[in-house]
Amino acid sequence: MALVFDGVTFRYTRRNDVFDGFDLHLDSPATVLLGPNGAGKSTLMALASSQLHPNAGRLSFKDLDPAKRRERGAFRRQVAWIPQQVTPMPGLTVREQVAYAGWLKGMSRSAAWQASERALDRVLLGKLADRKSHQVSGGQLRRMGIAGALTHRSELILMDEPTAGLDPQQRSVFRRLVEELTGDVQVLVSTHQTEDLFDLYSQVVVLDEGTVRFQGTTAQFHKLADHGESPRAHAESAYARLVGKEV
């Protein structure tokens, strides 16, 4: 199951190429994408989910090319993008919004409704299924987005800064979720938070100015960095003990 960028060029404005003949081959179960502000992470995600389209070159997932009309529907069913801000839909409950995501990707209403229940349980939102989606937190909304992707059985889930702005407890819920999903679906997560690396991801990609500066295993990446345990890891587990495990 590979996401492939093959000589992709993309620009927002005529003068400025974000990517110029960009190549990337991603086939590991869980990849973390790192890079400074403006590196091109969000643009890469938007291209990979076919929200944006290359000016030149080709991208594909499992050989499906979203530039080809016949393959676009299947590509979009298989690749889901969870933006940093998942927007609640006015009037819909959490479960209705999750089922709606399945319906939008071509499922029947009843199949989407059925699948939404298990998807919500997987992201630990079963208890909030009947709450209006505008009444849940930012972290819960992101998990609701993931439930939508699970409803229509996406095989690749792209997450843009999924832990930004989350409290330590929600971050640890998210980590457990990524762990649980990996193997079943492929995940690509962009983040600024290197302390989130731990052992979750099998592969690290570092992007800078639209160029891959590093691609390798987490162990190879750690060899480049200073050793020593992160104080943040201690802070998070202490926090979890104090405030309990409830989401």
Ligand X SMILES: Nc1ncnc2c1ncn2[C@@H]1O[C@H](COP(=O)(O)OP(=O)(O)OP(=O)(O)O)[C@@H](O)[C@H]1O
Residues within the interface to ligand X (CB under 6 A): 12-13, 18, 35, 37-43
Is the CB of 43 or the CB of 169 nearer to ligand X?
43
- Give the C-alpha distances (Å, rounded to integers) separating 247 from 2, 43, 158, 179: 33, 31, 23, 17
With a CB cutoff of 8 Å and minimum separation 6, the contacts of 143 are: 123, 124, 125, 173, 174, 177
Handedness of CA 119, 124, 127, 131 (dihedral sign): negative
> What is the smallest separation between the CB atom of 160 and ligand X, expressed in angstroms?
7
Secondary structure (DSSP) of 44-88? HHHHHTTSS--SEEEEEETTB-TTSHHHHHHHHHHEEEE-SSPPP
> What is the smallest separation between the CB atom of 129 and ligand X, expressed in angstroms?
32
Is the CB of 150 or the CB of 187 nearer to ligand X?
187
> What is the smallest separation between the CB atom of 36 and ligand X, expressed in angstroms?
7
Is the CB of 161 or the CB of 236 nearer to ligand X?
161
Is the CB of 43 or the CB of 78 nearer to ligand X?
43
> What is the smallest separation between the CB atom of 80 and ligand X, expressed in angstroms?
18
